[in-house]
Structure 1
């Protein structure tokens, strides 16, 4: 039997970081409900921000979806976690910088601050009884010993899934496979999130899925920050031969057609029914 892995669509969050791409709340509802209808396991609906016009679209998606898990992304900040939790999503992703470049240079913090702040954020989510995924940002450039130490720490807090993010798209397949094998030794469930800066997002995602990853992220048409993300159609088309994904490449193609229509200014559905 084929091993089952889960597909996570991040078109509404990471895909919207593509230059020139802006989705209206009604666009997001329409896309999310279509992705839900074709069997996508999880839909990352965006970043909750009370200052954003139409931010209540997340609640609308939650009311109308049938089967998919709806997640929101949050910074490593207890206040942001609380704001996200108040929207009552199925899941919160906590973006957690783990490379020394991001911890020391970008944030001006240290490893102990990451550990303490992450535990504080986990506690807030627990108070609201909302499951979380810890997104290990820039994991492809991080020290593996620190990664595994942090994973063991958060497992003690009840975290079951981490997102292994190749944030700047530097992985190549051989290292991608090895990294999965190293992280899986901790016993945590692994979701992989590939960027396409060197054109390796689909190849890396395929290799990591075959090496034991439990979930694979991607976007429709491969849109996303800089060079984009793992192209869902290309991944599903190739991986369906070896893995059970719960969605077909034909359905992904139809979702791409809907996205193209939206990007071209197509007629939007009435979201009030």
Structure 2
């Protein structure tokens, strides 16, 4: 059972921007933050203070809105980073620390004794300064569960408010991610956060599994952005929780399409037509039997209405169209339709779609039908 107080935290401006080749300017980051707030997102990870330069200026500007949204400052496991982030005015911080042997050895060159000591001292320092403290178990997929439980107990006893369970390289199945969240819950009451990467296309499924296992928080990015294959998509998680699990997060879903397009433009990565929820093809119908059903009842082939997510419904005229589609378009254009002529028009439409390798416009359909009408008049 997914708890009713689950919290969506967006990291488009931190993990999303870490996607190779993406670099947001100050103006862009502020524009995206504004849209996230307008969409109803209440927790945001806006960037990395330790980057310095323009990023610091940007984060200072974002902090002017901290009464409207919970801003989480991301830090390496370094005291100077944590201190500087709190000094900036962040009232919530995250501390990134690895727990797998390979990451401890190869990424930071440390051992488990160092990990426990560093986590404890950073948590104590931050809590003494009165901020919300989130801390990672990075590369949780390659962290032994017994050790993960020991670490969860340790950071909880040190005073951390939240433990982020990061499937850093996206190697877990939903069952295995669920197992790790549940294992932490067995030994500690600390809130957990899902942070799932999409390397096997399972980020959304893993996050839902983690929430079903009792996690309270979860990370998303707009358009599934992020390192390598990205993160769980904000729109997909919002709609899945709302429609499949009955959990309304307070997101203003009518903004989702516009938000997705804004971020796509800013990252120079066009939205795939098949992107769930916000893609152009999600509410596009071509198959004859589908369109016939849709014209009778739009629930026939749509799980939710396009207006709910700021998208639009389209009926496509192409190779797989049926007479119902053609009749609907022609009659909407004020053209009287005859059954025999419509059947011949359908044959012409399919041939034209194959010839041009794409759908026909309504104007092309009307021209085809009118040509058939003129031919019939000449024959008569």
TM-score by length of 2: 0.66
Shift of residue 2, structure 1, vs aligned partner: 7.2
Unpaired segments ≥5 residues, structure 1: 266-273
User: d(CA) in 2 for partners of 1:87 and 1:202?
Assistant: 33
User: d(CA) in 1 for partners of 2:109 and 2:264?
Assistant: 40
Q: Secondary structure at the match of 1:156?
A: helix
The higher radius of gyration belongs to 2
Shift of residue 129, structure 1, vs aligned partner: 2.0
Aligned to 2:209: 207
* Cα RMSD (Å): 1.9
Higher normalized strand content (fraction of residues): 1
How many residues align structurally? Answer: 265
User: d(CA) in 1 for partners of 2:178 and 2:267?
Assistant: 35
Change in Cα spacing, 1:54 to 1:205, as seen in structure 2 (3 Å) is closer
Shift of residue 264, structure 1, vs aligned partner: 4.9
Aligned to 2:18: 17
TM-score by length of 1: 0.91
Shift of residue 249, structure 1, vs aligned partner: 3.8
Shift of residue 104, structure 1, vs aligned partner: 2.3
Aligned to 2:318: none
User: d(CA) in 2 for partners of 1:76 and 1:65?
Assistant: 24
Aligned to 2:315: none
Higher normalized helix content (fraction of residues): 2
Q: Secondary structure at the match of 2:204?
A: helix
Change in Cα spacing, 1:16 to 1:212, as seen in structure 2 (3 Å) is same
Shift of residue 98, structure 1, vs aligned partner: 0.3
Shift of residue 124, structure 1, vs aligned partner: 2.5
Contact 2:136–2:166 (CA under 8 A) maintained in structure 1: yes
Q: Which residue, out of 233, 256, 261, partners 2:260? A: 256
Moved over 6 A (4+): none
Counterparts of 1:202-241 in structure 2 under 5 Å? 202-241=204-243
Considering Cα pairs closer than 8 Å and 6+ residues apart, tell me whether 1 or 2 has the greater RCO: 1
Change in Cα spacing, 1:73 to 1:166, as seen in structure 2 (3 Å) is same
Shift of residue 61, structure 1, vs aligned partner: 1.1
User: d(CA) in 2 for partners of 1:131 and 1:253?
Assistant: 32
Unpaired segments ≥5 residues, structure 2: 270-380
Q: Secondary structure at the match of 2:105?
A: helix
Say whether 1:73 aligns with 2:74.
yes
